[in-house]
Amino acid sequence: MTPDPAMPKAMQITSLKRIFTGLNPGVGVDLIDWIAHVEEALTLPENRLELSIEYPQHRWFTDEEEMKTVKREALKETEELLDYMLSAVPKEMRSDYKDVFDGYLSMKRFKLERGISSAKDKRLIVALQRQLEESNRERSKLERILQEQKRQPKPPAWTTRLERKLEDIFKATFTRAGLSPTRFMSEYRTELETIKTLPTEDDLVSAVEAFAAEIVQRELARKIKPPRVRDERPPERPPRDVRVGLPEEEEEEEFYVEAPPAEFPTYPEKGFFPSRRLTTLELIEIENKYYQDVYGCGKNPDLYRQEYEDWIETFLFDSWDQVKKNYESLIDIVCYGKKIKLLPRALPAEVIDELVHWLVSLKKYNTIEEIQEQLELMGKTATKENIILAIRTGYKQKVPSFVIVTRDYLEKLLGEPLT
């Protein structure tokens, strides 16, 4: 039985966002990096489990029983996929592959029970599935070729008379074109090995004639010099604050006038509290200007879609000034080849305590200053006193993120005892 195909990534993200919002009321979905952590190779239950491992500070299941159900679904889908793959393996190899697949399934079951990420294992399974499918396609293609060859007539007997006839035909083509065939005989003999496999003598003659004509056309084309043409390339784009570019030499009569660029949108559609991505209407206006500016500097804007997405489309902005700065940096990269580092995107203005609790739960920071520095890199600033207060409050309230954190670690981090 063929397993159901994995849901497209975009649809999975939509479903996971709906689940997240229902289980975490009041928490913005932009807090999760969906694009980075939702994988096309994984099914919806598998991606849900992976997100629960990556973001343990949030709820992903209504209760323990639902989590067990999702784990069973993920295991069942993997088992069905492996069964399907095993049926596609040649019979003489199935016993060996079954041992490998059973190993994959045991490892999957173990990691699901322990709450360990199994995304890497699933990626290996999907890669192996693609290899098997490609191998089956190649095998089917080879079988069709062999069957076709059986139906085709055998090539004519290779005799001295036939060899001489084909060589005469090859040379005659060059003679008619006024060329000497001597220096092309090595090419002819190489191609002849392929021509010999054709099914009939008429096919042999046609192939030799076509091959000779191809060489003749190639040689005649080399003797023709292309006409000199005026360079029609567009002039270099002048600096951004210059509207009219004059030629460098005074004796030139021509001058270049660049069409005024579209104005950058003046007002955002809505405010930036909390930090957010651009709205659809804002993106339409900015994308129109992007295409005009990039075409104006002689570049193809479609070749830089990834840069556009990173700097504009998927970025979380704190202000309209930041939008303008990102856009100017994007134009400098695309049009002028500048190397500009993309600064960390801002985070939504969520409660500072929740971020501190999550960072502490990672157990990789040794001082309050290290946590403070990480918060700044994430686009969120906090004083040392606020961080200490957040840790003490989290310990006192027994927040979920602190379940895996010991009191000794917290006291070492604070540099003082918890009371």
Q: How far apart are CA 332 and CA 5, in angstroms?
A: 42
Spatial separation of the C-alpha atoms in residues 56 and 67, rounded to whole Å: 13
Q: Which position has the higher pLDDT, 241 or 302?
A: 302
What are 210-228's pLDDT values in tens digits?
999 988 888 876 665 444 4
Q: In Å, what is the CA distance from 84 to each residue of 110, 129, 270?
A: 22, 9, 51
Q: Give the confidence band of 230 by pLDDT, cuts at 50, 70, 90.
A: very low
Residues ≥6 apart with Cβ < 8 Å to 344: 377, 378, 379
Whole-number Å distance between alpha carbons of 175 and 210: 15
3-class SS of residue 245: strand
pLDDT tens profile 88-104: 777 877 787 888 888 88
For the chain, the domains span 9-149, 160-222, 265-336, 352-414
pLDDT tier, 335 (very low <50, low <70, confident <90, very high otherwise) = very high
Contact 317, 276 (CB under 8 A): yes
The answer to whether 258 and 335 are in contact (CB under 8 A) is no
Pairing verdict, β 256-257 and 244-245 = antiparallel
Query: For position 260, what pLDDT does the model report?
Result: 53
How far apart are alpha carbons 276 and 25 in whole angstroms? Answer: 18
Q: What sign results for the dihedral spanned by CA atoms 89, 92, 93, 96?
A: positive
Please calculate the CA angle 118-122-124 and round it to the nearest 5 degrees: 120
Strand segments, DSSP code E, in 111-155 are none
Q: Give 250's pLDDT tier (boundaries 50, 70, 90).
A: very low
